Amino acid sequence: MSVLLLLLLTVATALAQGNPDIVEPGNTRNCSPPNNEQWYRTDHTFTVDPNNTQTMYVNVEYKGFFKSTDGGKTWAILTNGIKAYGRQSDPNSPCYGEAPAAFVDLSNSNRILLMNSGTNGTLTSTNSMAGGIFESLDAGKSFHQFIQPWMNTYTTSAGVFQPGDSKVFYYGTSAAPASYSEADPNKIFVTKGVVYKTSDGGNTWTELPTGLVPFVGATGIFIDTANPKALLVSTYAAARNATGRQADPASQLGLMRSSDGGLTWQRVTSLPTNYSPVILGWSAPLKSTNIYLITQAPGEFTPLNYFTTDFGLTFKPSSRYLDVVNYDPLDPTGNHMLGFTWQGNAGPPARTLFESNDAGATWKPWGTLPADITDPADKKTLPSRIVFDPKDRAVVYMSGAGGHVWKTTNAGTTWQTLLDYTKLPDYLWTGAPPASVASVVNAADFSPQLAPNTWVALRGTNLATTTRVWTAADFTGTALPTQLDRVQVKVGGQSAYIEYVSPDQVNVLLPATLPEGNTSLQLLLNGIAAVPANITLGPAAPAPFAWGADKGRNYAIATHRDYSLIAPAGEYPGVATPAKPGETVLLYVNGMGPTSPATPEGQTPSGLLETTIGFEMQIGGIQVTNLKAYLVAAGLYQIAVPLPSTLPDGEATVQILTNRGRSSDGKTTIFIAR
């Protein structure tokens, strides 16, 4: 099937089987933000693999859980086994909710825990069956529920592996009733505390007796690495119908301490009572006694943050109120930190990040927020997490609402946007087996010759759920589409341009800026990646586009100077006539290599761009030289070929021979008649 002459014969349909990851069929969700407060949040889920910093993970509200293995250049959805409610628009397609946090096991980075949120309830309660914690043991390829059916599925962002023994894990929950309107307002799903603990990798769990007050939730769990039985738990309580961050000290549980691994608890009195409600907290990875708390005091008190360097024996106020901070994981002193504020409690919000070198006692300007954040208080771009690279302290990431992930390597002077929600497709259930690419061939002659800026055909099974060619609606200005009906193709980390999709064939244009040599090609359907195919790119992959295969022909797509098609009389509907010996015809070709000026990446070229690779042709076995080829459309080259005057009537073979060792197969023909 030629790239230029695709016939749409059938429309593929999805299988009608149910999605096993959908819970409570019929209880569906409107899978889009109801307001700016819930705008594709990432919360505290962005994390970098400590052993391979090219691998990173993030959960994006409404979109799902994503993984990058190339430092954020490309992202693949990883949701196999993660339960979700169906979409109102498609009950078999999952609507992934907000996830407060994700954790990578430092002792085994293939193990990932994703904290799912939702409402308070159990795994058998309505509206809470998609909550809990999902565990992956294969770097995100598959997930399973980590908690037990009797436990509260509501999770906060508080969670921690015990240093030295990752079978031990603690997570925070809430003593609030379910939040949907029909729920019993007097029913809560914990009995003695807001922290759960497992000591055997999730096989058994214990609800720890931290104590309870109405609506309290755990907001931070901290372990002293020198004494893993020593724990601190920060908490915050706000009534169900409270507006803003209300914090009556009399209604708070406060900061709690255990010295016996959670068996017994006492309230910490070193943190001032009026500042005992804690919104968030962090501890230094290499100095666990250093802890920084974002506190919430009643309105008449000055907003303050507090820090400790002795695991809560004493607390001191920080010089600046910040909303999000984090510690440098490569700093053995635990003193180096970064932070920012969006509430403006210490003055109007500014696009400034701050640095501390004394464990949070004092702060100084460090850099600016990413350019995407024009207003620090805008909930559509609100940052929620700062992450230091685990191996290179010069690299810092931020993540936040809008599905954003940003990266800086120059102390916040400039930021690179690695991700935003517009780059992520909605996961739509197809019911089909995974896509499988069997071969990647030149789309003109179906040979294995490939090159940059060449049309190629992917052949296989389950490659798409529809059959169609691109239309004008798929373009953004002159930019070629990189996605068609939820099909994407990545080549060496770059997006290819998709012209045609069907279940067994997908046609794409390879990026012009790809280097020669071996690389990988990967198709993604609904964000799910097929097994990569290995391909080799040469300097050129010349092949005339052809038609007539349905009639047992292999005619080159060529026209007269008036652009009427060359073909035997009556062979093609409409005006089509043979070529004459000595006539100059226009031949349309694939894979003729680089141009000067350079081919505009991902754009429809304007004007004629001459190729830089030398070539000659054989027409009916007769040499034709002094030829030029021009790029005239996306991936389409045109050659004006003077036909030898001695050609006999009939089919004359057409072959292109380049000076870079690449030639076409010579099986394409052009019909000659005097």
Model confidence over 514-550: pLDDT tens digits? 999 999 999 998 878 899 999 999 999 999 999 877 6
Asked, for residue 275, whether it belongs to a domain, the answer is no
Quick one: pLDDT band at residue 36, thresholds 50, 70, 90?
confident
Which position has the token pair 């002193």?
Answer: 333
- Partnered with residue 586 across adjacent β-strands are 559, 640
Structure tokens at 622: 């007769």
Quick one: pLDDT band at residue 345, thresholds 50, 70, 90?
low
Pick the closest to residue 270 from 287, 285, 257, 284 (CA basis).
257
Quick one: pLDDT band at residue 503, thresholds 50, 70, 90?
confident
Number of domains in the chain: 2
Residue 593 has pLDDT above 60, yes or no: yes
Together in a domain, 574 and 522: no
More confident site: 12 or 230: 230
Give, in order, the Cα–Cα distances in Å from 96 to each of 30, 60, 118, 130, 144.
11, 8, 10, 9, 15
Which of 486, 511, 536 finishes a domain? 536
Q: What is the CATH number of the domain that holds 612?
A: 2.60.40
Pick the closest to residue 158 from 120, 238, 203, 103 (CA basis).
103
What does DSSP assign to residue 239?
Answer: -
Quick one: pLDDT band at residue 347, thresholds 50, 70, 90?
low
Asked, for residue 591, whether it belongs to a domain, the answer is yes
For residue 532, count CB atoms less than 10 angstroms from its CB and return exposed for 0-12, middle for 13-18, buried for 19 or more: middle
Asked if residue 247 lies in contact with residue 298, where contact means CB atoms within 8 angstroms, the answer is: yes
Quick one: pLDDT band at residue 299, thresholds 50, 70, 90?
confident
Q: What is the CATH number of the domain that holds 444?
A: 2.60.40.10
Q: What range defines the domain where residue 484 resides?
A: 436-536
Together in a domain, 584 and 633: yes
The C-alpha atoms of residue 276 and residue 263 are separated, in whole angstroms, by 22
What is the per-residue pLDDT for 16?
Answer: 30
Taking residues 582-587, what's their average pLDDT? Answer: 97
| Secondary element (H or E) of residue 29 | none
Together in a domain, 639 and 607: yes
Q: What is the pLDDT of residues 385-412, one digit of tens each?
A: 999 999 999 999 999 999 999 999 999 9
3-state secondary structure labels for all residues of 452-503: CCCEEEEEEECCCCCCEECCHHHCECCECCCCECCEEEEECCEECEEEEECC
Residue 646 has pLDDT above 90, yes or no: yes
The C-alpha atoms of residue 40 and residue 33 are separated, in whole angstroms, by 7
Which position has the token pair 């754009």?
Answer: 603
Asked, for residue 605, whether it belongs to a domain, the answer is yes
Asked, for residue 3, whether it belongs to a domain, the answer is no
Which position has the token pair 């652009």?
Answer: 563
Asked if residue 510 lies in contact with residue 496, where contact means CB atoms within 8 angstroms, the answer is: yes
Taking residues 189-203, what's their average pLDDT? Answer: 96
Together in a domain, 578 and 524: no
Give, in order, the Cα–Cα distances in Å from 566 to each of 382, 577, 583.
60, 5, 11
More confident site: 303 or 207: 207
Quick one: pLDDT band at residue 432, thresholds 50, 70, 90?
low
Question: What is the pTM for the complete model shown?
Answer: 0.64
Together in a domain, 548 and 572: yes
By mean pLDDT, which of 44-48, 125-129, 144-148, 509-513 is the weakest?
A: 125-129
Structure tokens at 518: 């071996």
What is the per-residue pLDDT for 377?
Answer: 84
The C-alpha atoms of residue 439 and residue 635 are separated, in whole angstroms, by 20
Together in a domain, 460 and 532: yes
Taking residues 273-297, what's their average pLDDT? Answer: 95
Residue 430 has pLDDT above 80, yes or no: no
What is the per-residue pLDDT for 434?
Answer: 81
